[in-house]
Amino acid sequence: MHKGAQLQVVEGGACDPYAALKAKVETQQITIGVIGLGYVGLPLSIAAVRGGVSVLGFDIAKSRVDMLNQGGSFLKTIGAEAVQGMVDSGRFEATATMARLSEPDILIICVPTPLSRNREPDLTHVRTTAETIAQHLRPGQLVCLESTTYPGTTDEVIRTILERSGLRSGEDFFLAYSPEREDPGNLRFSTGTIPKVVGGQGERATELATAVYSLFIDKVVPASSERVAEAVKLTENIFRSVNIALVNELKVIFGQMGIDVWEVIEAAKTKPFGYMPFYPGPGLGGHCIPVDPFYLTWKAREYGISTRFIELAGEINRAMPAHVAQATADALNRHLARALNGARVLVVGVAYKRDIDDWRESPALDVIRHLRAAQARVDYHDPHIPVLDAEALGGKMQGVAWDLAALAAYDAAVVCTDHSDIDWQALANAVPLVIDTRNALAGVEAARGVVVKA
């Protein structure tokens, strides 16, 4: 067993679901069923297989299932060689047949938890998955939710649905929560090296879940309950949201004073205690930080509590795309004596973070929307995203190729994502005005025009 995780010996024989599952885990004779093979489920599957565990992956997208079984990857952050290695091990299979949910000993739910149009939790995928599991649930299975949600979801939603099967949590099956901590594109950490927080519904569930994850995760951190584990994930992302909102507000304030906020941060982070650097940008993106805080905001209303600090941070971060569009308009007027209306503007980078192809909740989409609303003629370039199919933009938008001659035809470029494979010097040389929201052009001399930080 990886890292030597141990389970307490309890009374019970082979017919006791806990004892039976405990014995399987201790001898590593288990199969893990990963439900949802996306940004969370796929790297989790790879880590488990590398740890010597068999994985049966479930996904409703048949094309995705077929690609994985053939050793292909649909994620740029996960190379095909990693998937091929998983398939070649003989310990992985993907399926779209949900009737096979009774086969694995462990079921890990990795499905999306977005917000509704009213910025309230949308647990449609979680509920649907739980209802499907309930149809095939058998004694001696452990079910663990990894999708980010509000404290109480595992008990109030998952348990309630699963117990409709007639089986009871803590007796017939076991229930836990372990927040995903994936960071796509981060080369310093992988699923197996990121510490894993685990909280179960009762001591038995916590012990089982801790032992299972210890088979392929370097460090597992048990929490006293599933509610604590659910709160951990929200706390981590609220922390980031609030601090990013703070530096975004400082960016606006210092900008009016003629002070470069990035220079301030670089100097401030030399303090070896009491300070942690966060960086401003065009807003928040991704599937976590713009979404997760509002799960707690929604749940807090049940207790009559107003989450003013969290909501203020969200308000500041959501205002950044409009700030960028206004800064673009002001810079065009000041430096080129040109209105934004009718100007040709190139948005550089539409992924929500550097060097990935994920544009979920990307602030670049709102920057484009605001620029269009001002009647600017907007194109975008992103080496990782050739086509945007975003509802926020009214449909598909084709990216433009990186062509130095074509760049010269733009009045301004707005940098929203600081991809490492973009030639920033060439951009500064070709375009008369660059609006830099990421400090990507730090140290770059603009041979033709000017660089404005926003």
Distance CA 26, CA 158 (A): 26
Q: So what's the pLDDT on residue 117?
A: 79
Q: One-letter amino acid identity for 361?
A: E
Show the CA angle centred on residue 440, arms to residues 438 and 446, nearest 5°. 125
pLDDT digits (tens), the chain, 454 positions: 333 344 444 444 447 999 999 999 999 999 999 999 999 999 999 999 999 999 999 999 999 999 999 999 988 889 899 999 999 999 999 999 999 999 999 999 999 998 887 888 999 999 999 999 999 999 999 999 999 999 999 999 999 999 999 999 999 999 999 999 988 878 788 899 999 999 999 999 999 999 999 999 999 999 999 999 999 999 999 999 999 999 999 999 999 999 999 999 999 999 999 999 999 999 998 878 888 898 999 999 999 999 999 999 999 999 999 999 999 999 999 999 999 999 999 999 999 999 999 998 899 999 999 999 999 999 999 999 999 987 778 888 999 999 989 999 999 999 999 999 999 999 999 999 999 999 999 988 766 679 999 9
Distance CA 259, CA 7 (A): 57
Q: Are 93 and 69 in contact (CB under 8 A)?
A: yes
Q: So what's the pLDDT on residue 115?
A: 85
Distance CA 308, CA 346 (A): 36
CATH topology (fold) of 227-454: Rossmann fold (3.40.50)
Q: What is the DSSP string of 331-378?
A: HHHHHH---STT-EEEEE--SSSTT----TT-HHHHHHHHHHHTT-EE
Cα dihedral sign, 71-72-73-76: positive
Distance CA 363, CA 281 (A): 9
Strand ranges across the sheet with 433-436: 377-381, 344-348, 412-415, 433-436, 450-453
Q: So what's the pLDDT on residue 448?
A: 65
Distance CA 281, CA 454 (A): 8
**Fold identical between 2-224 and 227-454?**
yes
Q: Are 17 and 173 in contact (CB under 8 A)?
A: yes
Distance CA 344, CA 378 (A): 6
Report CA 212 to chain centroid distance, whole Å: 23
E-strand spans in 68-217?
Answer: 92-95, 106-109, 142-145, 174-177, 196-200
Q: What is the DSSP string of 234-248?
A: HHHHHHHHHHHHHHH
Is residue 288 annotated as part of the catalytic site, yes or no? yes
Q: What is the DSSP string of 304-340?
A: T---HHHHHHHHHHHHHHHHHHHHHHHHHHHHH---S
Give the start-to-end residue ranges of the domains of the chain: 2-224, 227-454
Catalytic residue among 110, 144, 288, 416: 288
CATH code for residues 2-224: 3.40.50.720
